[in-house]
Amino acid sequence: MADITDIKTILYTEKSLNLQEQGVVVIQTSPKMTKTGLKAVLKEYFGVTPQSINSLKMSGKVKRFRGRLGQRNDYKKFYVKLPEGVSLENMEA
């Protein structure tokens, strides 16, 4: 079962801020989060039922650190369309 601790952050980039004007919020989560799990978390903790959810798997980049290869963590991004007039900015979990 998904939990609120699986949500890492709400992304605030130039693209995501443009999407927020259309009622879409971009949420970064752990790779094990599912659409139904995210929907349940949003409903339980924020009291919001999303209209639609699109997901995207992001692989961690391979980077060098002090001459050694390493890899950043994998994560999932969710594009959540909220109902008209509802936002997650004013709500804190």
Residue 9 counted as domain residue: yes
Residue 90 counted as domain residue: no
DSSP for 19-76 reads: HHTTTEEEEEE-TT--HHHHHHHIIIII----SEEEEEEEPPPEEEETTEEEEPPPEE
pLDDT digits (tens, 9 = 90+) for 54-82: 999 999 999 999 999 999 999 999 999 99
Domain that holds residue 43: 4-63
pTM, two decimal places: 0.86
pLDDT digits (tens, 9 = 90+) for 9-27: 999 999 999 999 999 999 9
Residue 35 counted as domain residue: yes
Q: How many domains are contained in the chain? A: 1
